[in-house]
């Protein structure tokens, strides 16, 4: 039954992507129930625009339009004359010019040019990743049916962790954020000045790392951002811009993905941080039930109970730094928004799923698919 459900979800995601999840070549088309999202001015009113509506229909993209003649129906152009007239689309260089302004990478002189190169570059630069000797896990017993929701493993997932790593800047500043949120959905979050300062400290700590520098350089290479400050604001928005699930501004990307939320008296939403898992196990409020899948590099699909609430399926990549997770998640959000983002890391296979929320540039969710 579990296998059938997972396959059905995968097929649904594939069908949705193929059946109109993009505005490519659809700008101005009338409403169609055959498409999962729309690409005309009414979609703004009804809230059913595709996630790339702004790119293709407002800002304009050169995808599929390189070297075409001037077309007044488009907000920008995609031929060599656009350089003279200053009306090129923002992605003209990456889509049409055959070359992009590639900045110098302070790490090794090479900026990644595809997702596999990027994923391995940030993996290799992740000096805050725990080595294999810095932690040990007890995966316990295999869960064959996630619907059973019962404890089949009688030890915590994390047997030991070198806690000296958790005193490093990005871990310490991330951990300081966990108590800033109302765990239950449906209650408006209010960010105090002190909590804003903690967000700033986390952002500053991350952007001092080589991992986030590579992430910026890759986003710049792809043509998404041309200044570090703009890119940093984008990442901040993904994490900390409040949005609505059950009440006005009752959640954010960080709260959902990293802190986790109680979606009801019996269920959990989000929760994809190994650091959060370890800390709650140490507090005695987290009960690891067992695993459904284990794969390299360092990925596990598992089930757990948190103060009487059960998450039937969740996944983490364990032992990696917060900046590594956010670099991967934010890049996949840019390149494969609302879709699966495959990559190879350190010789193994990994895929990330990201979701926005109502078309906003926020993490509706982001996680490794183990």
Under a CB-based contact definition with an 8 Å cutoff, are residues 88 and 82 in contact? yes
Does the active-site annotation cover 220? no
Angle at 130 between CA 126 and CA 132, to 5 degrees: 125
Beta strand 158-161 with 135-137: parallel, antiparallel or unpaired? antiparallel
Under a CB-based contact definition with an 8 Å cutoff, are residues 280 and 286 in contact? yes
Active site residue: 56, 74, 220, 311, which one? 311
- What's the CA gap between 217 and 345, in Å, rounded? 19
- What's the CA gap between 104 and 204, in Å, rounded? 22
Closest by CA position to 242, among listed 231, 234, 253, 232: 253
Under a CB-based contact definition with an 8 Å cutoff, are residues 269 and 282 in contact? no
Active site residue: 56, 74, 220, 272, which one? 272
Does the active-site annotation cover 2? no
Beta strand residue intervals within the chain, DSSP E? 135-137, 158-161, 261-262, 268-269, 286-295, 299-306, 309-317, 340-345, 348-357, 360-368
Does the active-site annotation cover 311? yes
Q: Give catalytic residues, as residue numbers.
A: 256, 272, 311
């Amino acid at each position: 039954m579990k296998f059938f459900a997972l396959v059905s979800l995968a097929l649904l995601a594939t069908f949705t992507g193929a059946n109109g999840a993009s505005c490519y070549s659809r700008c101005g088309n009338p409403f169609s129930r055959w498409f999962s999202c729309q690409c005309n001015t009414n979609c703004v009113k009804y809230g059913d625009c595709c996630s790339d509506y702004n790119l293709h229909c407002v800002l304009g993209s050169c995808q599929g339009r390189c070297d075409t003649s001037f077309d007044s129906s488009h907000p920008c152009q995609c031929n060599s004359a656009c350089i003279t007239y200053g009306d090129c689309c923002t992605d003209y260089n990456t889509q049409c010019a055959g070359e992009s302004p590639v900045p110098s990478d302070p790490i090794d002189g090479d900026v990644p040019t595809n997702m596999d190169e990027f994923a391995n570059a940030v993996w290799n630069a992740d000096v805050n990743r725990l080595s294999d000797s810095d932690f040990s896990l007890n995966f316990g017993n295999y869960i064959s049916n996630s619907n059973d929701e019962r404890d089949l493993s009688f030890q915590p997932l994390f047997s030991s962790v070198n806690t000296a790593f958790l005193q490093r800047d990005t871990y310490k500043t991330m951990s300081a954020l966990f108590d800033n949120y109302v765990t239950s959905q449906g209650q408006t979050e209010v960010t105090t000045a002190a909590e804003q300062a903690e967000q700033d400290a986390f952002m500053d700590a991350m952007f001092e790392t080589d991992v986030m520098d590579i992430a910026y350089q890759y986003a710049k290479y792809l043509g998404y951002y041309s200044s570090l400050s703009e890119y940093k604001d984008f990442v901040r928005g993904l994490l900390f811009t409040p949005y609505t699930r059950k009440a006005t501004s009752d959640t954010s990307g960080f709260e959902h993905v990293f802190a986790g939320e109680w979606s009801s008296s019996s269920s959990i939403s989000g929760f994809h941080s190994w650091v959060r898992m370890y800390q709650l196990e140490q507090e005695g409020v987290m009960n690891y039930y067992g695993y459904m899948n284990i794969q390299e590099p360092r990925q596990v699909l598992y089930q757990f109970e948190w103060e009487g609430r059960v998450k039937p399926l969740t996944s983490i990549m364990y032992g990696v730094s917060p900046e590594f997770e956010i670099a991967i998640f934010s890049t996949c959000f840019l390149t494969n928004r609302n879709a699966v983002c495959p990559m190879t890391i350190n010789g193994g296979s990994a895929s990330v799923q990201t979701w926005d929320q109502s078309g906003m540039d926020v993490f509706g969710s982001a996680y490794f698919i183990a």
